[in-house]
Homo-oligomer: A and B are copies of this chain.
Amino acid sequence: MKKSIGAKTFAMPAPVWVVGTYGANGEPNIMTAAWGGICCSTPPCVAVSLQKIRASYDNIIKRKAFTVSIPSKKFISEADFAGMVSGKDADKFAAAGLTAVKSELVDAPYVQEFPLILECKLVHTIEIGLHTQFIGEIVDVKAEEAVLGDNGLPVLGKVDPFSYSPPERLYYGVGQSVGQAYSLGLKFKK
């Protein structure tokens, strides 16, 4: 039996991604975003939503670029911190002991310590309400060699990202692989 629980942002799982930008004076900033997802295959695009009050909002508008650095679970505290404090008040890279690397492809920095990076050029800005959605075209993905499989592509179990549960404000690790897409459903195909 289903129960109505109101108009809430209770979709799950949500990703935990760290958005990298440069400020007005070239200072690198990061903020953590759980409101986001891939939004197009060709061109490859990713969306992240930010509030206008964030330092990162102005940075993306001005530089027309951002990165998405995907943290491993071992950096969960650093990622949580980057979502708690404003880049207007703190150098979050320094405070969390993280290293900013300047992207050679877009005008934004990424987090050296995180294993998987998307470098993005801003292509759409959608004003929705409290949040503005920025859609970035992914111009390159960079990955630590240690998280690549034999085929040279990233393995989720090695990246070891984590998820966010909005109703609980809890992070969850990833579990085991549970099946191949475009395969499990074949049994229902006539």
CB contact under 8 A between A188 and B81, given known A1-B144, A140-B7, A178-B76: yes
Contacts of A164 in B (CB 8 A): 181
Q: What is the bound-complex CA distance between A149 and B95, given in angstroms?
A: 35
**Residues of chain B contacted by A85 (CB below 8 angstroms):** 185, 189
Interface size range of chain A in the complex: 35 or more
Give the number of copies in the complex: 2
Q: Give every chain B residue within 8 A of A62 (Cβ-Cβ).
A: none
Residues of B with C-beta under 8 A to A185: 77-85, 96
Which residues of the partner chain B approach A117 to less than 8 Å between Cβ atoms? 2
Contacts of A97 in B (CB 8 A): 188
Q: Pick the contact of A133 from B35, B40, B182 — CB < 8 Å? A: B40
Q: How far is the CA of A70 from the CA of B9 in the complex (A)?
A: 13
Q: Which of B5, B15, B49, B149 contacts A11 (CB 8 A)?
A: B15
Q: Show the binding face of A for B, using Cβ within 8 Å.
A: 1-15, 17, 34-47, 49, 68, 70, 73, 76-85, 90, 95-97, 116-118, 123-124, 126, 128-131, 133, 135, 137-145, 148-149, 152-157, 159, 161-190
Would you give 26 A-B contacts (Cβ < 8 Å), ordered by A?
A3-B143, A3-B148, A4-B140, A5-B142, A5-B148, A5-B153, A7-B140, A9-B46, A12-B70, A12-B159, A13-B174, A40-B49, A40-B128, A42-B129, A76-B178, A77-B185, A80-B182, A80-B183, A85-B189, A90-B190, A96-B188, A124-B126, A126-B126, A163-B174, A168-B177, A171-B179
